[in-house]
Structure 1
Amino acid sequence: MKRVATGLLIVMAAVFALARAYEDRYPALAYVKAFAEAAMVGGLADWFAVTALFRHPLGLPIPHTAIIPRNKDRIGETLANFIRENFLIPAVVARRMQNIDVAGAAGRFLQTPAGEGNRIRAGASRLIADIFESLDDERLGGIVKGAIATRLRKMEVSPLLGHALASAINEDRHVPMLEAAIRWMARALDANEPLIRDMVHKKANWVLKLAALDTKLADAIIDGLKKLTVEMSTDPAHPVRIRIEEALVQLANDLQTKPETRARVEEMKDQLLDNQSVSLWIDALWQRAREAMIKAARNPDAVLAGKLGDVMKAMGSTLERDARIRAAINQFARRAAVGMAASYGGSMVKLVSETIRGWDANTVTGRLEAAVGRDLQYIRINGTLVGGMVGLVLHLLDGL
């Protein structure tokens, strides 16, 4: 477009020269000369105006030229203020978000069957997989494990354990665990019967051994313990079971209310987190989770084709059909967007202004000229043609 505009200016100069040379022989060429003369004036004036925006015309330091390079910081501030006042004000964001159905869009997206050309899902999946594979596994794993450990250390688990235990007891969900513990005790008793007999034999004095009473004592102990486990497993009202349940109730209450118990549990938690085996276990969990996420991201259609896909589709259908849930989600999205605008709008605007301020003058000039330069060259072309028409009209009026 620069070449077209400049070429048109050169053409007008050639037409002017030819018309002036043959004007005496052909008087009608005076109108052509007037058109070409005014066109050159208009084209040169607009060339000066367009060039003065980005640089000094012909390199001459004429006042009020090279406007953009000299005022790039002010332009950055003005652009940043424009973005803030028209896009990042909480009231503006809230008004725009009122017409956006985030929940409905999410519902339709979740219901999209796998393998139907969902470019968003495919692109997002590739991006997630590439990110997880490119990040330093050791450093990222350390960050994740450190975050988990820090969160667990800050979280007081005693009240949670106490509340969970109390809820389980109130709903009799502890009974299967108690019966499983009784069965485990019975199996442990059978497996360790020789050990019990050996312990009784070692503890018995020589009189009992001489009379072979240590064997009978061991038999009595083992038989009594076996009878106890059988009675506990068959009788829900057995006194020992009742005492165990009372102890569990007391433990649930102590975990929630007793400072000494809570302190001991927290100390045990810290010791557990400091254990190397627990660290290795968390590391193994992270590796399996990372591999599963990469595998799922590499083949999202296969993952979403099974039960997970059915669950996602059901969620999407619920989002579209349930007006109450959709309204709640849309309200949450609107508040989140407004909150981000209020909290981070200033930072976003500052990023724009500081980025432009950090550019050198040539960078600003080049980017803006590349964005609007074509239209500015049309201004030069229009200036040439409009200038010629004005010159022709003035020549006609002068002749009249």
Structure 2
Amino acid sequence: MKSRYIAGLSLVTMGAGFVTTLFLPDNAFVQLLKGGFEAGLVGGFADWFAVTALFRHPMGIPIPHTSLLLKNRNKIATSLISALENELLNKESITRKLKQFDLLKIVGSAVTKWIGKKSNRTSAIAMLQTNLTKLPLDSIVPSIQTGIASFLRHTDMKPLAEKVLHTAIQGKWDEQALDYALNQGRAWVSKPETGQLLGSIAQQKISEAKVGGIMGFAVQAFAGFMNEEKLGTMIQQLLLSGIQDLVRPDNTNRERLLVEIRNQMIKITEDESLINRGKEWLINKAESPDSKAFLLERLEDIRTSLLASLEKEKQGGGRKVVTVVRYVIRRLQSEKEMMEGAERKLLSFIVDFVEANHYRLGALLKDNLDRMDDKELVRMLEEKVGSDLQWIRVNGALCGFVIGLILTCIQWL
């Protein structure tokens, strides 16, 4: 250790200078040097004793109040731990220090810088692919089913049904459903085979009709005049005409039909027994094996799609990841209130975490100190602070030399 060598050299220099002056002719200059070297020797030796007494017994002699660090190692460890827990890592000091940093801005900058490297992006995507592939979907599905069933059990379906009804009326779902049914009906009625089917059914029912008198004669005459094709065509035209009328928004029958549909929907929301039966049906359906298979199949489809997208993104170097992350960071930074709230929560989390676990640092410090024997502890301390302490010896020798010169001059006066 260079500082220890210099300190030792300063002490030896003072001692050698003092001994040399004993053999020189007695004159004023020699007396001045003798007084300086003598005081420097005393000062250097005293400081050597003081510095050495901190770490060990000077010259191995168990002088009282020496080897202070070893005698008080438990007190020192306890003091360090107490300072660590109560002064350095208390809630107020951590909060005060963290408030000096813009945490989310620092995090955002670090993330942006990290994803700027292609290797980091591709590694992150590969890790995400691996974890997604290993994700046990078959063990997740029962939890999803349980969650859905629990939600349905604890949900009052009547307000939900009323809300759905209100949304349906506001969104004109009833009109859309009616128009869909009319369009499907018109498409079916317009088919040639539908005309044949309707004509066959109509002729069969006419032949089965049991009507006597003039009415029966008229029916039989009509049946003899009309065949299946004519009957089917006529019924088709009648149905298509009726559908066409119902499609028009200003049609009276359409309005009546819509009013009836809405009334039936309102009755459904007011029928608690029907709502409860529907609720039980939904719960049973959510818990059924068929639902489990359906959910598992959907999740597998989603996973396959995500893996394909991730693989494509990885082959492209993950450029979209950079775009998405930067967009999210910019959006978050533009929302000042959201950023402030998020930073408060992050700050609170860090402070609470450190405050709840700083005793672990103290325990780790105590454990590491207990593992070290006296020799190792002294060596470590000397390596860390011994260099600065050795300069005390140098300064003591030099100051003593100067003071010795001054005192000799005072004696002369």
TM-score bin (small chain):
0.5 to 0.7
After superposition, give the CA deviation of every residue in 1:39-59 in whole Å (9 maximum; x if it has no partner).
Answer: 34424532443x47xx99989
Q: How many residues align?
A: 366
Aligned equivalents of 1:368, 1:64: Cα separation in 2? 9
Aligned equivalents of 1:253, 1:85: Cα separation in 2? 57
Aligned equivalents of 1:30, 1:232: Cα separation in 2? 127
Displacement of 1:11 in angstroms is 1.8
After superposition, give the CA deviation of every residue in 1:269-294 in whole Å (9 maximum; x if it has no partner).
Answer: 33388431221212332453466568
**Given the superposition, is the C-alpha separation of residues 71 and 310 from structure 1 closer, same or farther in structure 2, using an over 3 Å criterion?**
closer
Say which of 82, 86, 96 aligns to 1:81.
Answer: 86
Displacement of 1:394 in angstroms is 4.3
The amino acid across from 1:78 in the alignment is A
Q: Does 1:119 align with 2:130?
A: no
The amino acid across from 1:8 in the alignment is I
Displacement of 1:388 in angstroms is 1.2
Displacement of 1:167 in angstroms is 1.5
User: Structure 1: any 5+ residue segments left out of the alignment?
Assistant: 320-324
The answer to whether the 8 A contact 2:35-2:405 is kept is no
Q: Does 1:163 align with 2:163?
A: yes
Aligned equivalents of 1:365, 1:252: Cα separation in 2? 83
Aligned equivalents of 1:125, 1:368: Cα separation in 2? 46
Q: Does 1:288 align with 2:305?
A: yes
User: Residues 192-231 of structure 1: matches in 2 within 5 Å?
Assistant: 197=197, 230-231=244-245
The amino acid across from 2:17 in the alignment is A
Displacement of 1:248 in angstroms is 3.9
Aligned equivalents of 1:294, 1:381: Cα separation in 2? 63
Aligned equivalents of 2:161, 2:232: Cα separation in 1? 39
**Given the superposition, is the C-alpha separation of residues 313 and 329 from structure 1 closer, same or farther in structure 2, using an over 3 Å criterion?**
closer
The amino acid across from 1:86 in the alignment is E
Displacement of 1:143 in angstroms is 7.4
**Given the superposition, is the C-alpha separation of residues 341 and 288 from structure 1 closer, same or farther in structure 2, using an over 3 Å criterion?**
same
- In structure 1, the partner of 2:220 is none
Q: Does 1:271 align with 2:272?
A: no
- Identify the range of structure 1 (33-42 vs 122-131) with the bigger mean alpha-carbon deviation: 122-131
The answer to whether the 8 A contact 2:121-2:321 is kept is no
The answer to whether the 8 A contact 1:13-1:40 is kept is yes
The amino acid across from 1:179 in the alignment is D
- Name the larger-Rg structure: 2
Q: Does 1:395 align with 2:404?
A: yes
- In structure 2, the partner of 1:322 is none
- In structure 2, the partner of 1:138 is 134
Aligned equivalents of 1:365, 1:251: Cα separation in 2? 86
- In structure 2, the partner of 1:262 is 279
User: Residues 293-332 of structure 1: matches in 2 within 5 Å?
Assistant: 301-302=319-320, 315=331, 319=334, 326=336, 328-332=337-341
Aligned equivalents of 1:180, 1:357: Cα separation in 2? 78
User: Structure 2: any 5+ residue segments left out of the alignment?
Assistant: 25-29, 209-222
After superposition, give the CA deviation of every residue in 1:272-323 in whole Å (9 maximum; x if it has no partner).
Answer: 8843122121233245346656876985644565xx6997598468x2xxxx
Aligned equivalents of 2:281, 2:373: Cα separation in 1? 64
Displacement of 1:76 in angstroms is 3.1
Displacement of 1:256 in angstroms is 12
**Given the superposition, is the C-alpha separation of residues 143 and 353 from structure 1 closer, same or farther in structure 2, using an over 3 Å criterion?**
farther
State the TM-score, normalizing by the size of structure 1: 0.63
The amino acid across from 1:76 in the alignment is I
State the TM-score, normalizing by the size of structure 2: 0.61
- In structure 2, the partner of 1:172 is 172
**Given the superposition, is the C-alpha separation of residues 304 and 65 from structure 1 closer, same or farther in structure 2, using an over 3 Å criterion?**
closer
Cα RMSD (Å) of the superposition? 5.6
After superposition, give the CA deviation of every residue in 1:61-114 in whole Å (9 maximum; x if it has no partner).
Answer: 95652655665465334312331242456xx69xx75x87789x59xx7xx9xx
- In structure 2, the partner of 1:9 is 7
